[in-house]
Structure formats: structure tokens, C-alpha cells
Amino acid sequence: MRKQLLPLFMFLLVYSFTWAQTKQVTGKVIDNTGAITGVNVTVKGTTIGVATDVDGNFKLNVPPNATLVFRFIGYKTKEVAVGGQTQINVTLESESSSLNEVVVVGYGTQKRGDLAVAVSSVQGKDIEVNPITSVAEALEGHVPGLQVTTPDGSPNGNPIIRLRGGGSVTQDNSPIYIVDGFEVPDLSNIAPTDIESVDVLKDAAATAIYGSRGANGIIQVTTKKAKAGRTIVSYNGYGQIRTFPRELQVLSPYEFVLAQYEYARITSQTAVDNFSKYFGAYGDLELYKNQQGTDWQKKLFGNATASQQHNLSITGGNQTTKLSLNASDNKNQGLQVGSNYERIYLDFKLNHNISDKLMLDLTTRFSNTIANGGGTSGSATAKVGTGITTRPVNGLADFIDLGGSAAASGNDQDYADFLASTINPVTLAAQDWRKNISKIFTLQTALTWKVLKNLSYRTQGSVDLGFGDSKRYYGPLTLLSTNNGGLPLGEITLTKTQTYSWANTLTYNFNIGKNNTLTVLGGQEIRTSQSSSNYNRARGFDTSLPPEKLFSNFASGTPDQLTSNDPQANNIASFFGRVNYAYKDRYLLTFTTRADGSSVFGEGHKWGYFPAAAFAWKVTDEPFMKNLTVISDLKARLSYGAVGNNRVGLYLTQPTFSVSVNRPIGFGDTNQPYYTFASSLLPNPNLKWETTITRNAGLDFGLFNNRLTGSLDLYSNYTKDLLVTSNIPSSTGFAQQQQNIGQTSNRGIELGLSGVIIDKKGFKLNGIFNIAMNRSRVDKLDGNATEIIASSGWASTDLKATDDYRVRVGQTLGLIYGYVSDGMYTVDDFSSYNSATGRYVLKPGVPDDSGITGGISTRPGSAKLKDLNGDGVIDAANDRQVIGSALPKATGGFGFNASYKGFDLYTFFTWSYGNQIYNTGKIAFNQYYRTTYGNMLNTENYASRFHYIDAAGNQVTDLAALAALNPDPKVASPFSYGNATPVASSLAIEDGSFLRLSNVTLGYTISGNFTRRIGISRLRVYGTIYNALLFTKYTGYDPEVSTSPSGSSDSYNQLTPGVDYSAYPKSRTYTFGLNVTF
């Protein structure tokens, strides 16, 4: 202890000694609107300095003959010689041009004006005004070419982020994320309130420094820096109400029983008898007109739920040591009963100048997320369909007191069974109980050493540790339980992920004359990540045991599966370099190259090399441009480069085995573990890097004294040696193999504009606008194949011809494939009705599609599919075609930002144009799909559908009478389809274009003496509505949708985009919040 105190003592001694010789200077720093807080005031050539306080005042002891330097981001730096002054008031000039913004590029920063590459940025101050819950939310619609899609509205859902379409066909196309120079797996543990700015690196010239993994762009997040000066405490908080914006209309209780009656009537007398037993005689059905019925959608998703977020930050320090502490707590309630999450973030930053040549940066972050609830997609038990198809009334059972199950016998037993078959969806949701706890701990540290004036060395290391604890309870009503003895099961999955990285860079600035600047960077990095898991499943728990208790008493079940997995680490070793050269600060050249070695590839294929070059010309700096006052800034950019992708699974190059207990053999009535292939793909020792070549041409411009600024980019990228999971003949024992085949391309144009529309005294109106158009194309697949057949799998094998997607050479991805609806059979299609067989006789040449629709035999009003090849037969092989295209033609956003005195108003719209959605609900909810006495959408009401019963409840069979009964039917009979025969047809394809007022915020900042008196320097209150308005023709819950039914809720299948299957409905949220700075 004594040893440690000595340096401190020395330091104090020196400090006091220095102090003794100085004099005090005070002053105030302002700009044209008032005082500026937090301006760094330093004595030139020393580390002595302070920051201005909330009123812009500073007080500093300076040595004689000192020069003060005033530095603040967004302002021109100013120097003032102290001389004899003791009071120095300074007015800083703002840097009006965004060209001086500092942009983070790989392993360094550059001024935007000096960039030769395509980078789009979002500033923290633009993010700050809104209460966002994730970084992705902040980016949505703001960056041209960056598509952020929330696949569903689940409170903890991961958004899909795609830059310029994504090149890979079957591989992960998400960009990589860099936070403060460190790569992180995702952005979920960055508190949104902690973001300073986000830079999106788009072309290869920008991303090639991250070579291997740069193919899908890089999202660089800069978090708020610790600031020197007075300690500033600020609080941001909001409360939020979520509501269910859009309910689908289902049949009313009366319409419901009427439809059930009609179905029974045309099925058989037995069916009618059963119907009457449960719902009463036809003559009494009028009674249901008085019944309200249960609105199951509302029960499942309609509860307005309250969420809240609190964030507290403390920042302060002096010129040598700065620190900040940031804590957030976000409690988020989902629309679905029982689904919610809570996330806590803690982060601590320390920047310390050990000497004026040696700087230490340290960041630690911790986040803890607890997510509850089963959601609606993937293997969830309570799906969207549950809310729609569950019957709204229980017929006579609602009126009869069964007198308890003991008394139930004979006929009453039927009612009891019937009642039991109505599983309350809310109960069902509770059967699928899930709790996921995820803890992420991050430590990042860097040491920068200015070895020489022009030479600096930086070494940085990071540790990411993730601990997942996922519990899932399968109640007795879940399928897994019924297949496992009908008692509850519980599973616990513990995962541990660890990532370590270490990077070293050397940067040298060459001084070669006035007109030439040259910066060279060289570096090396290694990175290793590994995730291991332990899985434990037990079954046969007591039904009465609540899930929480069950997981605390796992021994009360029968052990069923216990597995552990320590997979191979995923290692990457890299060497990279960058040269920036500028001539006259006007012609800019950047060369980068990177060599990456990856452990996922086999011997001889591990290394990939990724060079890139970019050129920029600052046109406005040319003398001949001086007189053109309209154009304040103009820069032209050109770039070309190669980037790679190694995101393939493990064990793909050599045959290896791992142990499994999934569906084992049961010798001796015991499940026997067995060895199987570690990968379900046939190993391919020749796998190599996927390479994307990007070509970009861009213009950055500022007009009218930079009142209007913008960027225009054109690109043409292609990805070769695509890592494609190809189908191979299953006679090999494998269905697929990872191969480097084929090529895709993406071409597009992006425009981003930002302008000051009005800047009058007190009133400001800014606007931003961006648009992106991307055309993806499959250039080639492997040698023979011209198409890949893909299945969304939403209805598993129930779907007639399960393959409902195509990838075709020469066309875009996301082609939806199916039958073409031809409306319905009309009376004119039939020649007669045979009352003996109960069949209608089709006229010659009219094809019969009942083999596909599978419901009531073909008759007037039953659904008709087009016989595309005209052979008189409707079959999967010849009568299907591309019926929709899921990728949008253009996407974008625009918004306005106004302020008047203390008020600020922010609006932002996002839009998408030209994509189609495969609305599976339109199929499943407009027929009796896997329901017994279930409900349908209101599109199938008696007046709209082709019906077969008259007002008296009698079945009409005669052709002419049927025509008279249905003068103007809107939709075919829902009974055209069998109970398990959904048909993918053009009926389900809908226009997915939309315009959404995604955000409107009104805020008011209270400032002045009142607040200052209670110690608050700034107080802002605001209200925000998210998803405020939606304009779309789409009939499902929300057009911004892409679900993958087979996988988990956040997995996205590149081959089958645009499926709306049981997507968790998006909410409309009303937020009220507060920003306080003390």
C-alpha cells in the first residue's frame, strides 16, 4: 500500500508546485445560440485543461505565456494567447459542413471529407431524440441500401440487417459489427442510449480491411466517449404502452355456426346430427346473433402492455483520466400474453493518458437479458392461427351446466369431450413456457503508443463471454408431451460462448512535401471463438407442478436426455495493410489488402486474399470550381475490391462423428446413444472462401452552402464461388453438401439527402430522405442446375407439393411458386347433377382439381385452379408457376425534424415498394385447416362465399337453383379444401408495399432559471408513437414480415423470404419520456 501511495504523493507534490506558479483565468464559451457545455479548454503543449460547465464557464490556472486551445466536436478549434488577460470569452464557430465529421473506418478514423469510400452515417444526436430499444431500430430507414427488417413483432426478436441485398444465396448475409474498433457478435448488448454514431461501410474498398468477413458490409458503432470536465449526470427514461394495431376480422358467432352447419349439411346427415348435438337445431341458430363470442385474438395479443426504460449516465474526469458509467434497465412487455423481456446494461469506460505518448482505453460491458414467453413462430405452441381459428362460442355447452365431471356420463360426456377439445389459446400459450437468460460480459482494452512523431503503435485485445440459460417447458397439451407420455417435459440448455481477439497495428505518416501526404497502416489480428453447450431434458413431471418450480426441482422428473457439446473453435488469423495517399489534398487514393486464414476450411484452402482500391476527387477544391457558389462541396468516388465470406458451419471438410441421443434405438428398454456424422452435410475437403467483388461509383455533394447535402452511389457487385448448400442425390445418405458454386450479383443505386429547409430565428426545419434500389440476380448455379427448389415448410407435408419457392438462373431470389387460382367453378362448368352419387358432372374439357384441393367433390363454387398447360389435368408438375416475388423493388425512408423555441417535432416514414408477400394466413384461415369446429376469417361469411344452403337450411343441389342462390359470390367455398390440404396458390400472394409513419415524436425542453435552481441543466419531456400509421393493401397483420416456420423465431431463410406464417404481430407503441441532465 505504501508503495502505491508514493507515486500519488509525488504527483500531488509536483501538481502543487506547478500550481504555485500559475495564475487563474476565467471565461465563457458561446456559439451563436448561447453557452456551450463541455468544451475542452487546454493549455497548448500541456495536459492542463478543463471543460466548460453548463453555462459555458470555465476556470483554469495557467502558466505564464500560455495559449489556450478550445476544442469541441462540431466546431472549429480556436486558440487564444492568454497574455495579460484573466477573463477570456470565446465564440466558437460551428463547422457547418458534415465533411468534417469524424468517420470510423477499419482500425482508424478519417474525416468524412477525406474518405474515398462509401460510408453512410447516423449521428447519435439523430438517434437520441427517440426512445429506441435497439441499435437496429435506430438504423431502420435511415441508411440508403441498408435494409432493416423486423421479421415479427416479438419483443425480443432480432431484426434482419441486409446491406445491398446480400450476395450469398444460402449463407448468413448479415453484416459484421464493430463497436469502438472491436468486433462483436451482435449489437444486443449495446445500450441504445450509449451510441454516439453509427457508420455503415458499404463498398469493398471500405470493408476490405476486414477482408474475410466484409462481404456484407460493416456496421461501426461509436459509443459515447467519456468527457473531461465537471461530472455530468444525466437521466433518460420512458414509459411505453403497446397496443395491438390491427385485428383480423373473423366470423361472428352466428356466421361461425352457420358455416359449420353448412359444412355439416353438405357432408352427411351424421355430421348434421353431431352439429345439432353441439350447437342446436338449424332453426335455433338465430340465437347466436345475440352472442358476443370470445375474441381470442384480443385475449392472446390484445392486452395493452406497459414497458419502461431507465438510463442513468455519469461522465467526468480531467485531461489525463476520463471515465463514464452508464446503466440502463429496459422492461419490455410483448403483446402476447406472458411474453416479455428485461434487459440490464452496465458499461464502464476509462481513458487514461499514462504519459503524453501512451494512452490506455478500457471498456467493460455487461448485459443481462431475461426473455419470457414462447412467441408465435417456429415451434411455438400458441400460433397466430390459434387466435383466429379457435371457435368463438362453445355452442350449447355454453348454456348447459354440466354439473361437474363426476356427474358427466353418456351424452354429457360428449359435451365434456367437446369442451375439452376447445383448448383455450391462453392456456395453450402457458403450455409453452420459456425463459431465456443471457448474460454477456465484454472487456475491451487498447494501448496506443506514439512511438515517434509520425509513428504510432496500437495493441488491442478483447474478451467476450456469453452465458445462456434457456429453459423450456412443454405442458401436457404440447405435441412433444403427447408423444412422450402426455406429461410435462422440461429442458434446460446452458450455453457458453467465448471470443478472444488480439490485434496490433502500426501507423506511419510520411512527410513528403507540401502536396503529398501518405499514411501507411499495417497490422495483424487473431481471433478465436468457441461455443459449448449442455442440454438436459427430463420428462414425466407432475402436471400440477408450475414451470418455475419444475426447473428448481428437476429431479422430480425422469431423466431423458443429457448431452454436452464442445465444438471446434472457429479461428481466424489475419494480416492487413492500408495506404492512404493524397495529392494536394484533392486527389485521394486508398489501397487496402488483407490476408485471412480460417479454420473452417480444409488444408490448402484456409487462406483468402482480399485487395481493394479506391480513388476520390474533391472537385470543389479545384480552382475552377471556386466561382460556382451553388456547389459548396463535391467529391467523386470510385472503388473496386474483393471481400470474402467464410460463414459456414463446422466439420464440413472432413467426415467426423459425434454422439447423439436424438431418436435412438431402445435396446433393453433404454435409449442407446449412438454416433452419427457431426455435420448433416456431406463433407467437402475443397471448400474455400466465397468472394464478393464490389464496384462502386459515388458522389458526395453539398449545395447552397451545404444546406443540402447528400450522397449518390451506384454499385455493381457480384459474388463468386458462392458457398451454397446444394442438394445432392440423397442416395449418398446426405441431402446436401456445402459447395462453392455459382454466382449472384447485386446492382443498385442509393441516394441519401439531408437538408435544412427552414432556418429562421427560433424555427428550424430539417429534412432527410433516402432511397435505394437493388436488383439481385442469380447469374449461375452449378454446372447443370438451372434452379434450386426450395420449401418454406410452413404447412410441412400438408401442403400440396411442398416446394413453394424457386431460385432460378437469370432471375432474382425469392420467387414464390405455386398454382394459379382461377376463382371458382361456375354452374356453367357442369352438365348435370347426379342425385344418386351426389356428384356434379363436369362438362368435357373442364379439368377437375379436387385431387389437389381435397375437400368436397368438385361442384359449382368450389375453388378452381388454372390448367396452365391445358392438358385437362391439374397436377403439381405442369400447372404451377412463379406467382410472386418477395424482394422489394425499392425501399427507403424520409423524415422531418422541426424545432421551435423549446419544442421539437420529429417524424420519420419508412416505405417499401414492389415486393409480394406469401400470406399463409390467407390460405389457412379461409378454410378448415386442421381444426374441428374451428373458425375462419370474415372473408368467408355467408354473403361472400358460394353457399349451398338456403334460408331454410336446406341443401340446394340443382344447378339452376344454385346459380339463383349465388347471384354474385365473392369467394369460392371454403369447404373446397380438405382438413389438411392447404394449397399454395396465387390467392395467397399479396402486394407487400407499404408506407409507414414509423415514428412521430414531440418534445419540449424546459430550460432557464427554474430548472437550474433545482440543479437541472437541461430537461426535456417528449412523447413518441411508433408504428403510428400504416398504409398498405396487405390484409395480414403487417407487411414487414419474413418468417421461417421451421427454424427459431429469429432465423431467416435467404431462399424463402417473404413468408407470413404466424408472425408475432407488431405493436403500436405510445411512449412518454424524459431526458434530464444535472
Partner 1 sequence: MIATIVASCKKFLSPDSPSVYDSTYIFGNISDANKAVNGVYALFNTDAFTSRVSNNFTGNNDIEVGGVSAAPDNSRRDIWSFECTSANADLLTVWNNAYNAINRANECIAGIEASALYKSNDASMLQLEGEALTLRAYWYYLLINNWGDVPYKTTPSRDGDNFYLSKTDRNVILTNIINDLVTIEPKMKWADQLDYGIERINREFVMGFIARLALERGGYALYPDLTMKRSDKDYLDYYNMANAYCRKLMTLKPHTLDPSFSNVFLNECKYIKPLNSDVLYEVAFGPVAGDVGWCNGMRVDAGTHQYGTGSAYLSLSPSYYHSFDTLDVRLPATCSIIYYSSTLQQTPLSATSITPAKWNRMLVPVPLGTASSKGTGINWPLMRYSDVLLMLAESENEINNGPTADAKDALRKVRQRAFPSSAWATKVEGYITTVSASKQTFFDAIVDERGWEFGGECLRKYDLARWNYYGKKVAQARNITNQMGIDANNGTGTYSNLPDVLYYKLNADKTCTFYNRYAKVIGGAPSGYSTLNWLKSLYSSSTGGPSTFALYSWRGYPDNSGTTPLRYILPIHGSIITDSHGSLKNDGYGF
Q: Give the count of alpha carbons within 13 A of 16, CB side only.
A: 6
Contacts of 45 (CB under 8 A, 6+ apart): 67
Binding residue for partner 1, selected from 169, 208, 300, 682, defined by CB under 8 A: 682
Using CA atoms of 677, 681, 683, 689 in order, give the dihedral in degrees to the nearest 10.
Answer: -140
What's the closest the beta carbon of residue 22 comes to partner 1, in angstroms? 52
Under the criterion CB under 8 A, does residue 91 sit at the interface with partner 1?
no
Residue 876 binds partner 1, judged by CB under 8 A:
yes
> What is the smallest separation between the CB atom of 730 and partner 1, expressed in angstroms?
5
> Which of 262, 875, 940, 1040 touches partner 1 by CB under 8 A?
875
Q: Is 325 in the site for partner 1 (CB under 8 A)?
A: no
Taking the complex as a whole, the smallest distance from the CB of residue 465 to partner 1 amounts, in Å, to 18
Nearest to 989 by CA among 917, 1056, 927, 885: 917
Compute the least distance from the CB of residue 294 to partner 1, in Å.
24
Q: What is the C-alpha to C-alpha distance for residues 600 and 527, in angstroms, rounded to an integer?
A: 13
What per-residue string of b and e applies to 894-922 under the rule 16 or more CB within 10 Å gives b? bbbbbbeeeebbbbbbbbbbebbbbbbbb
User: In the structure grid, which three cell numbers stand for residue 497, read together?
Assistant: 460462448
CB of 707 to partner 1, least distance (A): 53
Specify the 3-state DSSP secondary structure of 696: strand
Asked if 932 touches partner 1 (CB under 8 A), the answer is no
Among 404, 623, 666, 844, binds partner 1 (CB under 8 A): 666
Best CA proximity match to 1062, nearest among 48, 252, 374: 374
Query: What is the per-residue DSSP string for 148-193?
Result: EE-SS--TTPPPEEEETT-S-SSS--PPEEEETTEEES-STTS-GG
- The answer to whether the CB of 374 falls within 8 A of the CB of 456 is no
Chain residues 800-819 in contact with partner 1, contact rule CB under 8 A? 800-803
Applying CB under 8 A, among 495, 519, 660, 938 the residue interacting with partner 1 is 660
Asked if residue 477 binds partner 1 (CB under 8 A), the reply is yes
Q: Which span (284-292, 392-400, 608-616, 846-854) binds partner 1, by CB under 8 A? A: 846-854
Q: Which three cell numbers stand for residue 469?
A: 440459460
Distance between CA 193 and CA 324 in Å, rounded? 13
Q: Which of the ranges 387-395, 684-692, 915-923, 961-969 carries the binding residues for partner 1, by CB under 8 A?
A: 684-692
Work out whether 734 is an interface residue with partner 1 (CB under 8 A).
yes
Q: How far is the CB of 259 from partner 1 (least distance, A)?
A: 21
Range 519-538, binding partner 1 (CB under 8 A): 526, 528
Among 630, 667, 810, 1014, binds partner 1 (CB under 8 A): 667
When asked if residue 851 is in the footprint of partner 1 (CB under 8 A), the reply is yes
Contact, 1003 vs 1025, CB < 8 A? no
Q: Which is nearer to partner 1, 569 or 749 (CB)?
A: 569
Taking the least distance from each CB to partner 1, the nearer of 588 and 983 is: 983
686 touches partner 1 (CB under 8 A): yes
| Closest to 169 measured CA to CA, from 806, 889, 717, 744 | 744
- Applying CB under 8 A, the site for partner 1 has a residue count of 90
Q: Among 13, 659, 758, 1029, indicate the residue that binds partner 1 (CB under 8 A).
A: 659
592, 203 contact by CB (below 8 A):
no
Alpha helices per DSSP H over 671-768: none
What is the Cα Rg of the chain in Å?
33
Asked whether position 4 contacts partner 1 by CB under 8 A, the answer is no
Minimum distance from residue 819 beta carbon to partner 1 (Å): 12
Binds partner 1 by CB under 8 A, chosen from 40, 328, 981, 1024: 981
How far is Cα 544 from Cα 10, in angstroms, rounded to an integer?
A: 69
User: Which residues in the 553-612 window bind partner 1 by CB under 8 A?
Assistant: 560, 564-569, 571, 573, 597-599, 603, 606
What single-letter DSSP state applies at residue 649?
A: -
DSSP 94: B
Choose, by CB under 8 A, the member of 663, 760, 901, 1013 that binds partner 1.
663
Q: Give whichever of 630 and 665 is closer to partner 1, judged by the CB atom.
A: 665
* Shortest separation between residue 735's beta carbon and partner 1, angstroms: 6
Stretch that binds partner 1, among 99-107, 233-241, 648-656, 934-942 (CB under 8 A): 648-656
- The DSSP bridge pattern shows strands 890-900 and 880-885 to be unpaired
- Cβ atoms of 863 and 854 closer than 8 Å: no
732 binds partner 1 (CB under 8 A): yes
Among positions 292, 544, 784, 1009, the unique one binding partner 1 when judged by CB under 8 A? 784
Of 613, 611, 612, 625, give the one whose Cα is nearest residue 588.
613
Q: What is the DSSP letter of 250?
A: B
Among candidate residues 564, 428, 548, the one with its CA nearest the CA of residue 496:
564
* Residues 551, 760: Cα–Cα separation, whole Å: 63
126 binds partner 1 (CB under 8 A): no
**Nearest residue (CB) to partner 1, 972 versus 1041:** 972
Q: Which stretch binds partner 1 (CB under 8 A): 369-377, 637-645, 768-776, 795-803?
A: 795-803
List the one residue from 283, 513, 623, 729 that touches partner 1 (CB under 8 A): 729
Choices 248-256, 316-324, 819-827, 974-982 (CB under 8 A): range interacting with partner 1: 974-982
393/593 Cα distance (integer angstroms): 68
Q: Which of residues 398-457 bind partner 1 (CB under 8 A)?
A: 405, 409, 413, 417
234 CA to centre of own chain: 29
Interface residue with partner 1, options 83, 486, 762, 870 (CB under 8 A): 486
DSSP annotation string for 613-636: EEEEEEGGGSGGGTT--SEEEEEE
Among 28, 162, 349, 539, binds partner 1 (CB under 8 A): 539
Tell me the three cell numbers of residue 780.
Answer: 449461375
CA-closest candidate to residue 36, choices 67, 70, 61, 79: 70
What is the nearest approach in angstroms of partner 1 to the Cβ of residue 568?
Answer: 4
Measured from the CB atom, the residue of 17 and 667 that comes closer to partner 1 is: 667
C-alpha cell at 844: 368435357
Residue 980 touching partner 1 (CB under 8 A): yes
**Judged by CB, which is closer to partner 1: 583, or 675?**
675
What 3-state DSSP class applies to 296? helix
Does 881 bind partner 1 (CB under 8 A)? Our answer is no
**Residue 510 lies near partner 1 (rule: CB under 8 A):** no
Instruction: Give the pairing type, strands 176-179 and 160-163.
Output: unpaired
Residue 266 in contact with partner 1, rule: CB under 8 A: no
| In the block, residue with C-alpha cell 438436459 | 536
Is residue 34 a contact residue for partner 1 (CB under 8 A)? no
Residue 601 grid cell? 476450411
Is 733 a binder of partner 1 (CB under 8 A)?
Answer: yes
Nearest to 198, CA basis, from 139, 144, 249: 139
Q: Which three cell numbers stand for residue 957?
A: 343441389
CB 442 within 8 A of CB 177: no
Binding span for partner 1 by CB under 8 A among 82-90, 131-139, 723-731, 767-775: 723-731
* Closer to partner 1 by Cβ: residue 463 or 569: 569
Question: Is residue 617 close enough to count as binding partner 1 by CB under 8 A?
Answer: no
Q: How far is the CB of 860 from partner 1 (least distance, A)?
A: 17
